[in-house]
A = this chain, B = another copy of it.
Amino acid sequence: MSIQPGAPGGCCSPLVREPVGEADAAELARVFKALSDPVRLRLLSLVAARSGGEACVCELVEPFDLSQPTISHHLKVLREAGLVTAERRGTWVYYRAVPATLGRLAAVLTPEAVTA
């Protein structure tokens, strides 16, 4: 999970500044792959844009014309990519976006050295 906040390495300097190494590319690709599905993008956005920053699964199934196991599968992919976290509270499971992961990706994609 080298993309997570903890990683201090050069993993997140902009793509355009220097060629990304093999290992970093593999790690980044894993996260981008999680974002490469329209359903997952909307799920992430639904969770992140919600007031309070969290949503339970039941609220996430409704907007889609998909089965609950399918939504659950997509949420798992987002979780394993470090883009969301899940917390069980009683009967329900609440999901939250992980801003740090989003920030890392944004930094990597920044076309000019705005980060400097």
**Which residue in chain B gives the minimum CB-CB distance to A31?**
B36
Q: How far does the Cβ of A85 sit from chain B's closest Cβ, in whole Å?
A: 14
A2 to chain B, nearest CB (A): 14
* A65-B41 Cα distance, complex, nearest whole Å: 32
Cα–Cα distance between A28 and B34 once the two chains are bound (Å): 12
Chain B residues contacting A48 (CB-CB under 8 Å) are 15-16, 111
The answer to whether A109 has its CB under 8 Å from any CB of chain B is: yes
B20 & A42 in contact (Cβ 8 Å cutoff) = yes
Interface of A is mostly: helix
Determine the interface band of chain A, counting residues with CB < 8 A from chain B.
35 or more
One complex includes copies of this chain to the number of 2
- Say if the beta carbon of A73 comes within 8 Å of chain B: no
In the complex, A6 has a CB within 8 A of chain B: no
Q: What are 23 residue pairs bridging A and B, where the CB atoms are less than 8 Å apart in the complex?
A: A15-B41, A15-B45, A15-B48, A15-B49, A15-B102, A16-B48, A18-B49, A19-B45, A25-B41, A26-B38, A28-B35, A28-B38, A29-B37, A29-B38, A32-B33, A32-B35, A32-B41, A35-B36, A36-B36, A99-B111, A103-B109, A105-B106, A106-B106
Once the chains are docked, how many angstroms separate the CA of A99 from the CA of B109? Answer: 9
